[in-house]
A and B are shown apart, each in its own frame.
Chain A
Amino acid sequence: MKVRVKLFGILGQRFPGYHHEQGMEVEIPDGARVKDLLAHLEILKSFGGVVAVEGKLLAEDARLENGAEVNIFQSVFGG
């Protein structure tokens, strides 16, 4: 399945050619979970990868759906 990923913070810098306005399409196995997507993108937990879909933060074990618009950002603590 395919999901559209937008990367925030400095995550985009890790992917040469990434255009923030468009985001990028990522192909992952059907039924993949959040942790599978992060592993596929090599975003380590220690780097603080947080995934949100439709305004909700997802747990690592949450399943993603085909065509989902996925925002990934670094963990933040306040501003």
Chain B
Amino acid sequence: MKFLKVDMSTKSVNVEDVPQEYMGLGGRGLTSIMINAEVPATCDPLGPENKLIVAPGVLSGTSLVNTSRVSIGAKSPLTGTIKESNAGGTVAAALGHLGITAIIFENQAPDGELYIFRIDENGDASLITAQEYKGMGTYALSEKLLETYGEKSSVLCIGPAGEQKLTAASIQTTDVDGRPCRAAGRGGLGAVMGSKGLKAIVVDQRGKSADAIADPEAFKEAAKAFAKAVKEHPFTGQMLPALGTAGMVAPVNSMGAFPTLNATQGVMEGWEKISGEALAKVIQERGGNPSHMGCAQCIVHCSNEFVDKAGKYVTSSLEYETIWSMGGMTGIDDFDTIAQLDRLCDDIGVDTMDTGVAVAVAMDAGYKNFGDGEAAIEMVEEIGKGTEFGKILGNGAAAIGKHFNHKRVPVVKGQAIAAYDPRAMQGNAVTYATSPMGADHTAGNVVGEYMSRALDPLKPEGQVEASRNTQIAMASVDCTGLCLLASFALTTPEGAEAFLKAMNAKFGTQMGPDDIPALGIRVLKEELDFNRRAGFTAADDRLPQFFYEEALPPHNKVVLISDEEMDSTFDF
């Protein structure tokens, strides 16, 4: 249990025991509580007062399956709110193996200086000059870093977008094969990393100084039971391994909730061309891998390796959200173009979601035609080249909307929505509007409630409560390192019981089922407090006006949640 505190202005690295007030916290809980306590809420997100915090979940690095999420937190330059964005890959487990609770980057290197932060297998850390990597894409950079520091290393890094401090810049991280294809994409945290003068973090995976587990035998037993629950759940044990998250294309289109052509339609014409079923078939025919292990400790294997017609690797993993943003929103219905756009975004280091929505807004504004794949590729390439237009696009959908003075810009608090239209899934309208993170599906996706027919997606009744409950649940899960997808095994009694036992065995506690949501409520309260002090009010918890005025076919609904109902979301 230690913090590595890195002062980027003095280049000093201090190792500290975790202070009492942060004991027992990890992941989003730690990043958000620390930011609220230590970062001035009104500070410039790209200035020296902001902190960039990298924190594995409390269970990362243990033998519990699918616990390889790393949370990255800061004040967001995209939304101006507190931000946590988490990613998979291998770095969370690597930090867990070293007993590192968090790395905290403070202040800034002088303009023009660029560094790598390296942690070796003994946990010894240092800043190394990285001028030779300036402007480098994440793929070439990761290859060089793994050559230099060994294949058993995990990399977190930024591309040219992060160095340019563009507000849709991502932080990319390497998968089990050493490719920088996993992303903490949302909220422009790559720009915060760039503002610190930090190009990459390299962590040796061979650490052997993990924090102790209070009751190792009980933990082992609980871990076994949880793995069984993940394997036996139809979603995590069958559908995700076969189709990955792309399997969502069919159900969401079948519900009329797939935001299409910049959210003007709820069903994409020809969506079956870019469905999960079609993707698995194409990958199989070309000799790629439709069921790939992307993250350490993963038994779901929702990842894929997309290859071109010659069987050459293009990108991993082609996910539902990217297929939507680069496909549904833009009207591009071929996988080769979408995969190329995904690869470009990963390499340049920008969020595929905000970037895809930005491209769609530009097309809707008449800059290019919907469905023009070549134009989309050229637009995204401009971000990497640092052209004037590329800078606007790389600042995300809100920036491109302002540039074109366009009326239809699907963002909340400056962040693009996800692949669920709030007019056809009214609960996700609540989540987009009220999440402390800006529009964010991972903050509380209500789609599962609709699938189980517990709730009618088109009616306002029950949506606030459903959003509240999922937001609390996700704020809890995001503290643990558990992958959102594997967390759906918690919806079974066996999975929930096993997970609680694992937590208690890890900490030597006697937590009950209510203690886990209590943690989520605590985290949300801290995040809301930061946002309030940063100047956000209830008036910011609203969707763009067009969602209340333009009816979405085929259901022809608008958002029906009243302002009063929105404002009751966090009545706890």
Contact = CB atoms under 8 A, between A and B. Distances in A.
Interface of A: 8-10, 12, 20, 46-48, 50, 52, 54-57, 59-60, 71, 73-79
Interface of A is mostly: loop
B229 to A, nearest CB: 14
B447 A78 contact: yes
B457 A57 contact: yes
Interface string B525-555: 0000000000000000000000000000011
Contacts of B235: 48, 74-77
A47 B251 contact: no
Interface residues of B, number: 40
B248 to A, nearest CB: 4
B156 interface: no
Contacts of A75: 234-235, 448, 451-452
B255 A77 contact: no
A48 B266 contact: no
Interface of B is mostly: helix
A46 B554 CA distance: 30
Given A56-B256, A76-B248, 8 more contacts: A52-B255, A55-B254, A57-B453, A73-B250, A73-B251, A76-B239, A78-B448, A79-B485
A74 B451 CA distance: 9
Contacts of A57: 254-255, 450-451, 453, 457
Nearest to A34: B453
Contacts of B275: 8
Across the A-B interface, the 7 shortest Cβ-Cβ residue pairs: A79-B245, A55-B256, A79-B320, A52-B254, A77-B448, A8-B250, A78-B445
Contacts, number: 99
Given A46-B234, A57-B255, A77 B491 contact: yes
Contacts of A78: 248, 441-442, 445, 447-448, 484-485, 488
B554 A55 contact: yes
Interface in B288-326: 319-321
Contacts of B491: 77
A23 B157 CA distance: 45
A9 B280 CA distance: 10
10 contacts: A8-B277, A12-B277, A55-B554, A73-B254, A75-B235, A75-B452, A77-B485, A77-B491, A78-B488, A79-B485
B32 to A, nearest CB: 21
Contact of A8 (B251, B321, B554): B251
Nearest to B324: A79
Contacts of A74: 234-235, 238-239, 247
A14 B234 CA distance: 14
Interface in B427-450: 441-442, 445, 447-448, 450
Contacts of A47: 234
Contacts of B321: 79
B184 interface: no
B488 A8 contact: no
Contacts of A56: 255-256, 555
B419 interface: yes
B35 to A, nearest CB: 25
Given A52-B251, A78-B488, A9 B451 contact: no
A79 B217 CA distance: 33
Interface in B245-265: 245-248, 250-251, 254-256
Contacts of A79: 245-248, 319-321, 419, 485
Contacts of A59: 453
A55 B266 contact: yes
Nearest to B254: A52
B243 interface: yes
A52 B554 CA distance: 13
A56 B93 CA distance: 42
Contacts of B453: 57, 59-60
B445 A20 contact: no
Given A47-B234, A78-B441, A71 B250 contact: yes
Interface in B203-255: 234-235, 238-239, 242-243, 245-248, 250-251, 254-255
B441 A9 contact: no
Contacts of B279: none
B245 A10 contact: no
